[in-house]
Amino acid sequence: MATSNAGRERILARIRKARGHEASAAGAAEAIFPLIPDPMQRFLAECEANLTRVHRAVSNVQSAAILSQIVSELPAGAIYVEDDPVLRRLCVSIEERKILLSSEGRAPEDCVATLTLCDGLVAQTGSILTSSRHGGRGGSIVAPTHIVYATTDQLLPDVTSALRLAARDTERASYIGLISGSSRTADIEKILVQGAHGPVRVDIILEQR
């Protein structure tokens, strides 16, 4: 590969030659955003605003029933599932469907939905913190529907907290992301349209823990 270090050294030399202004670290970000007195309430409100559907459950059995309900609303086709014991148990409720497990390979082009875990949920923006460990990079983007199974103890107050958690993962995952709603665009006359390229629909099954 043409990794010319001559260019590297010349660029770095020019940078070092330039006189930078005195600059200090930015300091604390706490005063910038309002306090979030009730993170769960805020999370639910943000999800509603960004068109993510949140289904609350109090037990594993109820989560499985919700999954079955969501899947019954989807067109025919395979469901791609992150290979994890918890999700395998949930999938018993959709055994009539063709299930493809992430341990067998990447999410195929024609799967109708994907089911994954996540690393956290963010109250401030109604986001899902995910990474390539959860069904790979495609697990959250390839299918028209992305279903996430999460528990209430995964709720984080804000984006900064999510980034602090993500920082622990940067050695292990090649991709980390915050997903805040379904794929969307407003490129034509600023009119919002869902489902530009990725999921048209994002469902979170949120189990009490």
Partner 1 sequence: MSRLAEEFLIAAAQKSADLTHRATIKRNVDSYDTAVAKGKLRFADWEAARTYAARVKGEAVSNLAPLLEEFERKIVARGGHVYWAETADDARQYICDVARKNNVKTVVKSKSMVTEEIHLLPALEKLGIKVWETDLGELIVQLRNEPPYHIVTPAMHLTREQIRDLFQQKLPDDMNGESHQELVAAARRFLRRAFFAAEMGISGANFLVADAGMVAISTNEGNGRLTTSLPRVHVVVTGIEKVIPRLEDLGVLWPVLATSGTGQPITTYSTLIGGPRAEGEVDGPEEFHVVLLDNGRTEVLADEEQQELLRCIRCGACLNKCPVYRSVGGHAFNTTYPGPIGSALTPIVNGMKDWGHLSYACSLCTACDSVCPVKIKLSGHLLENRRKYVSEGDAKTSEKVGFSVFRWATAGPRRFALLGWFGRKITRAALAIGMSPHALGPLASWTKYRAMPDVPKDSFRALWEKNDGNF
Amino acid in position 61: V
Least Cβ distance, residue 65 to partner 1 (angstroms): 28
Residue number, 40 or 65, with CB nearest to partner 1: 40
Residue number, 164 or 209, with CB nearest to partner 1: 164
Residue number, 125 or 145, with CB nearest to partner 1: 125
Residue with tokens 């009119």: 191
Least Cβ distance, residue 42 to partner 1 (angstroms): 11
Provide CB contacts within 8 A for 52, sequence distance 6+.
126, 128, 180, 181, 182, 202, 203, 204
| Structural element, H or E, at residue 80 | strand 79-81
Least Cβ distance, residue 128 to partner 1 (angstroms): 11
Provide CB contacts within 8 A for 78, sequence distance 6+.
97, 98, 99, 100, 108, 110, 111, 112
Residue with tokens 């010349």: 10
Residue number, 32 or 76, with CB nearest to partner 1: 32
Provide CB contacts within 8 A for 116, sequence distance 6+.
81, 82, 87, 130, 134, 135, 139, 140, 146, 147, 148, 149
Least Cβ distance, residue 30 to partner 1 (angstroms): 9
Token pair recorded at residue 148: 């996430």
Residue number, 54 or 107, with CB nearest to partner 1: 107
Least Cβ distance, residue 70 to partner 1 (angstroms): 20
Other CB atoms within 10 Å distance of the CB of residue 5: 8
